[in-house]
Amino acid sequence: MQTYSTMCSFPRCKRKTFVAGYCYVCQSKYCKQHRLPEKHNCSGLNQYKEQLRSHHQATLKDHQCINSKIDDFYSQ
């Protein structure tokens, strides 16, 4: 089993507390409060959105339902 730091990666947080999980964009560990990309000014967020957008356009004709998912993401 891997050694596991419980420190949040947010610069001004550094709280040694329960880490809620990894950011799905930059894969860094964050506490519950900072886990969302918007909460820690995630460096990869814009790129991630671009990837979503191009993926969305590439699959638009096959997956109409992805529209609502992307809208949810942008409104977070």
Cβ 70 to Zn ion shortest distance, Å: 18
Closest to Zn ion by CB, 50 vs 67, is 50
Question: In the structure encoding, which two tokens stand for residue 14, read together?
Answer: 């550094």
Does residue 37 belong to the site contacting Zn ion (CB under 5 A)?
Answer: yes
- Cβ atoms < 10 Å from Cβ of 9: 19
Cβ 50 to Zn ion shortest distance, Å: 15
Burial class, 37, CB count within 10 angstroms (exposed 0-12 / middle 13-18 / buried 19+): buried
Does residue 35 belong to the site contacting Zn ion (CB under 5 A)?
Answer: no
> Which residue stretches of the chain are H helix?
45-58, 66-74
**Positions in the binding site for Zn ion (CB under 5 A):** 8, 10, 13, 23, 25-26, 31, 34, 37, 42
